[in-house]
Amino acid sequence: MKKLIVILSSLVLSVLSVGALSSCGSGQESTSDSSDKIINVYGCEPQNKLVPGNTTETCGGNILGVLFDELVSYSSDGKAENDVAESITPSDGNKVYEIKIKSGLVFDNGEAVTSESFIKAWNYTAVAENAQGAQSFFAPIKGYKEVAEEGAKTKELSGLVKVSDLEFKIELNEASVTFPLRLGYSAFAPLPVSEFDAEGKLNEGFGDHPIGNGPYKFSQWNHDMDVKIVKSDTYKGNRIPKNGGIDFKVYTGGTEAAYADIQSGALDVLEAVPMTQTKTFQNDPQIQAVVSPSAVYQGLEIPDNLAHFGWDEEGQLRRAAISRAIDRQAIIDKVSDGLADHPVSFSPNSSKISGATDQIKGNEVLQFDAAKAKELWTKADAISKFENPKLDVYYNADGGGKPLLEAVANSIKANLDIESSAKSTPDFKTLLNKEASHTMDGAFRMGWQPDYPSVENYLAPLYSKEAAKNGSNYSGFSNDEFEELMVKGGASDNIDDANKVFVEAEEVLFKYLPCFPLYDPKDKGAAALGVKGMAFDWHGTPDYINIIKD
Amino acid sequence: MARYIGIRVLQTIPVVLGTTFLIYGLVFLMPGDPIRAMFGNHPPSDAAIAVIRHEFRLDEPFIIQYLHFLYGALTFDFGKTFQGREVSDVIATSLPITAQLSFLAIFFEILIGIGLGILTGVKKGKIFDNTVLMSTLVIISIPTFVLGFVCQFLFGVKLKVVPTTVGVYVDIQHMLMPALILAGVSVSYVIRLTRSQIRDNLNADYVRTARAKGLDNKSVILKHVLRNSLVPVVTYIGADLGTLMGGAVVTEAVFNINGIGHQLYSAIAKGEGTLVTSLVTVLVIIYIVANLLVDILYAFLDPRIRYNKN
Amino acid sequence: MVNNLKSNEIEHFVADYDTDNLIVDEFTIEKKVTGIFQESLAIVIRNPLFWVSSIIILILGSMALFPNLWTGTDPFFCPILDSSLSASAAHPMGTTLQGCDVYSRVINGARPSLAIGIMTTIIGTAVGVIIGTLAGFFGGILDSILSRLIDIFYAIPFILAAVAVLQLFESSESIWKVIFTLSVFAWVSPARLMRSQVLSVKQNEFITASVSLGASKLRNMFMHILPNAISPVISTATINIGAFIVAESTLSFLGLGLGSNSVSWGQDIANARDILVTTPSVLLWPSLFLAITTLSFIFLGDAIRDALNPKGRR
């Protein structure tokens, strides 16, 4: 027995000593001025090293968003404003853009931001052998195919031409009036020329210590723990921070733990309220609730590999019947706790998104009408009888869509008298695999986080033929009329004309319904008491630079 | 004894080989393309994806991948994660955190589990016995995510007696509540086991003998009954150490603890074969060591058990 | 309590573990020699806990076998407009987030939940007891192989194996899928426990005695060692029934459980998470049924163990 006690007590001692060691260095900084205060915000572990061209997910994206400045930046209402760019001048019918860079801008290592900083960074991202995640963002630029595909011989986009130290030209494959809107995405960030070797390769360690030109400077990254950034002292751009820095606290298990920390004051800013709290957070006296319309699209996609759901008349009728059978408003009220809007188009109907409108012919198919739904279904049955009618709806269990999809399935089942149940795959990759290989035996949830605030970005990447080959068109939708309209829209003289054409493209989608919107979500956030200035930017990221605390 | 330990250490080799092969195979068989999934709705060109697949040897046949992993592991090079981090670095940061959580949980299992087990085993009071039984039932019937959530809200947010989460502050103060929650279900088992063992042993001949010798009740229980009752309890706790280290996913999520459980879960979700297998290899070695200690403890608790007889 | 006791049965009352252990006068009573199982049966039926737990289990069993006796409401009828209602005449236990009747779901959830809990426990305990006994009894190489096999199974992450097993059963959403997945792990703990007990029990004098009296190895293993070693396994097995029902909740939470077109307590417990704060009753009811089930099996297990266990019987 004595020996046992000795063993046990030594175990306890060792545990205690580990604790004692690691609890060092957790002292609080004591500053009085709120402009020097570090803000603790919710974060998650970036999927890759912190390289702008390799990041398309939000965990890394949120951090890179404030470490780098691009040619344009977006105001909180979604307007693109010149940032690093002095001017962006279109020519050749919006096929060529001449870029002029502001002088005197520097990276955190003191290096000047020049046209080379952009050209080197963009070429690096586009070249196949560098295997960068944001590669496809450069597809509109001339010469992309030559660098991005198998057996590429060149390592430079022919569409990028240096004019002077502060000027360069971008030539596109096709005219695109919306192209300047895209340039605020973090993949288009410049990188310091000194970080590239002679071959045009980025230094191996760059992603561990990124050097940016943005409002904040990288400080420290403790994997799965936190990422610390501080106010840059050389920054001269549009977005001057009001706080002294940001500490992205990594929450490995989701937002529930983070919400508890907001309540207790251990965390200042949380960008997403967990499902367990959505009913109550607006009345929670221990936090400040922030709610605003979201740019995220939430739809239900029906792939064309399902029998009876093709693009012919029968398929169109059945798709319309399913859409009509879903009581969206009831689902919004009960499952989303009223924190969503009834959808009207293929993008959220938000003033922050260029071209978003509710004036689209055919969008009445989104209105719940059980009688009409049955009528459409019967009409489809007259064309070709659907024996044992069934439409299951899929979600990935690690993505939190269960309550929504169960409600959708119940709605379809009750209002159409067909079999429908919510089914799950254990994780996102299994779902994506089924989507991409067209082996899904049911409909599935489609969530789309836009890259730039234009309705075009909700259409081309999801329904074009190109996106079916190499992109996010999982329904198999392929329609010439839609393709022509998208090209025509891009070739318009100005954004307003383009948006009118995109509305016509949406009308085509309303006829075929490869996917239909379920609800327009809202961004739900929380801030600790004593925090000021918490608000969301156009695509649902907290507007970090304006947040301060006492 | 030394020979016995030597043999056991040698036996570790086939176990590690078998486990790694099995785990690597299971990950290989999992559905979905992990590389394609990394890019979500923005896939790069096929050529770029092929580059990454080649980098992680995912374009090679299973057996080559596995042998390469084994070769690397022998030279302590476990490769890199998809993120580009050294796998050994991932283990080095998360293992001490998990170890601290599990040891603390085991400590509670011993303290509360064996303690209450002895009391319910010895005491004849029905009320006390039933109160303990009911409490353990509540703990079993309420899933960890609810129990953790409620305790976090009550003690962390409302009463502010403990911190709400762990995060970067890996110390006893922050780990206290998570460890208690983690130990919860196991404590119930330990109480039941100890109680039933004590009751069985109280009726054994040697207890009569001891009492006949005139020993008082306390020393009978502590010197004789307890020691004879502990074999299955120690077995359970020893085996539980492994379960706690790898299976604390929910507790780690509720209290934001960056431990092995979370790493394992996310590695499985991402389909990172090398990372999963490396983590499991570490876990299996811990199990083996823990079980070896337990087997050695048997001989101490019950001197009649001998290992060198065959 | 009971007046019409026969003389040879009084001893069991005297030696009930709740009474003073020092009363040893039972040896003066002449004992009729009966078979071990008749004797156990006689003990069991005199235990009031046995009757209480049996009746509860019978009630639960009737819910599992004939849910229509208890409710006529369709557990899958879930109008979203009835979401998260509190208890009323139409919905005695309220409704879920999706608007399903909680009472009907709890009743209809009994069958899959009990099946999962009981079957997994039986399979796991049986396999575990056999493997543990063989390892502990024969020792040597067999012990090494089986013990290391146990180590390997301990090391396999539950989630990983669950995903892999799910692949085998692709698309079929039967409870067997869940039972099989849980069973892959359920045998490991009993096996280790059993091995440790057998190691300990086989050193006892009465085993040595019976060996020297010429009893065969197998007879020894089954007639003497097994009954003397099984007690801790039974006391954990009864808790396991409840733990496995909860484990299905974890599987459901991970998207690997029964799926939305079947009802189970585990699923409803997992789903309750989202509206825990505003409508705790959706968690309360399935958890309460789960707790009552577990309690009944623990009592039943205790009664059976006390009857079977030669040590506790005297």
Query: How is chain C split into domains, by residue range?
Result: 46-73+92-313
Q: Does C250 touch chain B (CB under 8 A)?
A: yes
Going by C-beta distance under 8 Å and a sequence separation of 6 or more, which residues neighbour residue A41?
A246, A247, A248, A249, A267, A268, A269, A270, A271, A542, A544, A547
Which amino acid is residue A290, in one-letter code? V
pLDDT at B192: 86
Interface of B with A in 161-220 (CB under 8 A): 163-165, 167-173, 175
Residues 132-171 of C with CB under 8 A from B: 139-140, 144, 147-148, 151-152, 154-161, 163-164, 167
More confident residue, B222 or A535: A535
Q: Tokens representing B233?
A: 């309890």
φ/ψ (deg, to 5) at B150: -65, -45
If we measure between CA atoms, which residue out of C243, C242, C248, C208 comes closest to residue C225?
C208
- Residues B199, C246: C-beta atoms closer than 8 Å: no
- By CB neighbour count within 10 A (0-12 exposed, 13-18 middle, 19+ buried), where does A197 fall? exposed
Instruction: Locate the chain A residue with the closest alpha carbon to B53.
Output: A131
Check B110 against A8: CB less than 8 A apart.
Answer: yes
Q: Where in chain B is the domain with CATH 1.10.3720.10?
A: 94-301
Distance CA C82, CA C80 (A): 5
Q: State the amino acid at position A218 in one-letter form.
A: F
- C-alpha to C-alpha distance for C75 and A467, rounded to whole angstroms: 42
Read off the pTM: 0.87
A393-396/A443-448 β-pairing: parallel
Amino acid C48 reads: P
Interface test with A, best of C77, C165, C274, C276 (most A CBs within 10 A): C274
- Whether A18 sits inside 8 A of B44 (CB atoms) is no
Name the DSSP class of C117: H
Q: Which of A189, A204, A219 is the last residue of a domain?
A: A204
Residue A12 lies in a domain: yes
Which residue of chain C has the CA closest to B192? C235
For residue B56, which of B42, B41, B74, B38 has the smallest C-alpha distance? B38
Task: Give first-to-last CA distance, chain B, whole Å.
Answer: 13
Q: Which residues pair with A230 in a beta bridge?
A: A217, A245
Q: Order across the sheet with A160-164: list the strands.
A: A85-91, A96-101, A167-171, A160-164
pLDDT of residue A365: 95
CB contact under 8 A, B302 and C290: no
- Facing residues of A508 across strands? none
* Cα separation, B206 vs A290, whole angstroms: 70
Within this chain, do residues A358 and A498 fall inside the same structural domain, yes or no? yes
CA dihedral C19, C21, C24, C27 (to 10 degrees): 80
Inter-chain CB proximity A49 and B84 less than 8 Å: yes
Task: Report the pLDDT value the prediction gives residue C279, as an integer from 0 to 100.
Answer: 87
Q: Where are the alpha helices (DSSP H) in chain B?
A: 2-29, 34-38, 46-55, 62-74, 87-108, 115-122, 126-141, 144-151, 172-202, 205-212, 217-219, 226-246, 249-254, 260-270, 273-301
CB contact under 8 A, B252 and A253: yes
Contact C172/A at CB under 8 A: no
Please, which residues have CB within 8 angstroms of residue C116's CB and are 6 or more apart in sequence? C175, C178, C179, C182, C244, C245, C248, C264, C266
Name which of B239, B287, B304 is nearest C203 (Cβ-Cβ).
Answer: B304
Q: Say which residue, C44 or A212, is predicted with more confidence.
A: A212
Helices (H) and strands (E) in chain C, counts: 15, 0
Query: What are the phi and psi torsion angles at C95 (to 5°)?
Result: -130, 165
Task: Measure the CA–CA gap between A497 and A506, rounded to whole angstroms.
Answer: 15
Tell me, what amino acid is at A210? P
Quote the CA–CA distance of A318 and A62 in Å, as a whole number.
Answer: 40
d(CA B220, CA B208): 10
User: In angstroms, what separates the C-alpha of A290 from chain C's closest C-alpha?
Assistant: 20
Determine the straight-line distance between the first and last CA of chain C, rounded to whole angstroms: 20
The DSSP line for A488-516 is: HHHTSSSHHHHHHHHHHHHHHHHHH-SEE
Q: How far is CA A411 from CA A336, A367, B257, C98, C281, in A?
A: 15, 13, 39, 10, 24
CB contact under 8 A, C273 and A396: no
Structure tokens at A66: 């404030």
Please name which of C54, C39, C24, C29 lies closest in space to residue C296, comparing C-alpha atoms.
C54
Asked whether the beta carbons of residue C79 and residue A409 sit closer than 8 angstroms, the reply is no
pLDDT of residue A341: 95
DSSP A219: E
C146-176 per-position pLDDT tens digit: 988 888 887 777 777 777 776 666 655 678 8
Query: Using the beta-carbon criterion (under 8 Å), do C159 and B265 form an inter-chain contact?
Result: yes
Q: How far is C78 from chain B (nearest CA, A)?
A: 24
**Quick one: pLDDT at residue A14?**
43
The rounded distance, in Å, linking the Cα atoms of C57 and C49 is: 12
Q: Is A224 left (phi over 0), alpha (psi -120 to 50) or beta?
A: left
| Cβ–Cβ below 8 Å for C294 and B236 | no
Intervals of chain A under pLDDT 50: 1-31
Task: Closest CB to A275: pick one of C163, C256, C274.
Answer: C274
Contact (CB<8Å) A135/B90: no
Among B14, B193, B291, the residue with its CB nearest the CB of C235 is B193
Please report, for the domain that includes residue A7, its CATH number. 3.90.76.10
Interface touch B51/A135, C-beta < 8 Å: no
Report the pLDDT value the prediction gives residue C21, as an integer from 0 to 100. Answer: 43
- pLDDT value at position C35? 61
Cα-to-chain-centroid distance, residue A481? 28
Chain B: closest CA distance from residue C140 (Å): 6
Residue A205, both tokens: 């360690």
Model pLDDT, residue B74? 86
* CATH number assigned to the domain comprising residue A451: 3.10.105.10
HSE on the CB side for A494, CA within 13 Å? 1
Task: Determine the residue of chain C that is closest to A408 in CA distance.
Answer: C80
What are the CA-CA distances from residue A106 to residues A192, A213, A232, A236, A510 (Å)? 9, 6, 11, 8, 48
Residue A361 domain flag: yes
Q: Is residue A170 within 8 Å of A45, Cβ to Cβ?
A: no
Kind and range of the H or E element at A446?
Answer: strand A443-448
Residue B241 · residue B105 · CB < 8 Å = no
Chains touching chain A, criterion 3+ CB pairs below 8 Å: B, C
Residues contacting A500, CB < 8 A, separation 6+:
none
Mean pLDDT of chain C: 79
Phi/psi for A24 (5° steps) reads -65, 155
Higher confidence at residue B73 or residue C108?
A: C108
Pick from B284, B286, B308, B310: nearest CA to B296: B308
| B256 vs A131, A151, A253: nearest CB | A253
pLDDT at C170: 60
Residues 57-96 of B with CB under 8 A from C: none
CATH 1.10.3720.10 fits C46-73+92-313, yes or no: yes
Question: Nearest C-alpha of chain C: how many angstroms from B304?
Answer: 6
Give the three-state DSSP class for A395: strand
Tokens of B158: 């409302």
The DSSP code for B43 is -
Instruction: Among 3.40.50.11610, 1.10.3720.10, 3.40.50.1820, 1.10.510.10, name the CATH number for the domain at B94-301.
Output: 1.10.3720.10
Domain count, chain A: 2
Q: Are residues A192 and A339 in the same domain?
A: no
Interval C275-285: pLDDT, tens: 888 888 898 99
Q: State residue A426 phi and psi, 5-degree precision.
A: -60, -30
Q: Above pLDDT 90, what percent of chain B?
A: 25
CA A69 to chain centre: 18
* Domain hosting residue A313, numbered range: 297-521
For A101, other C-beta atoms within 10 Å of its C-beta total 24
A269 lies in a domain? no
Hey, are the CB atoms on C81 and A276 less than 8 Å from each other?
no
- Looking at residue C65, its pLDDT comes to 92
Q: Is residue A332 part of a domain?
A: yes
User: Is residue A329, in this structure, part of any structural domain at all?
Assistant: yes
Check if the beta carbon of residue C134 is closer than 8 Å to that of residue C97: no
DSSP C126-155: HHHHHHHHHHHHH-HHHHHHHHHHHHHHHH
Q: In the block, which residue shows the tokens 């009966």?
A: C34
A422: nearest CB among C79, C256, C260: C260
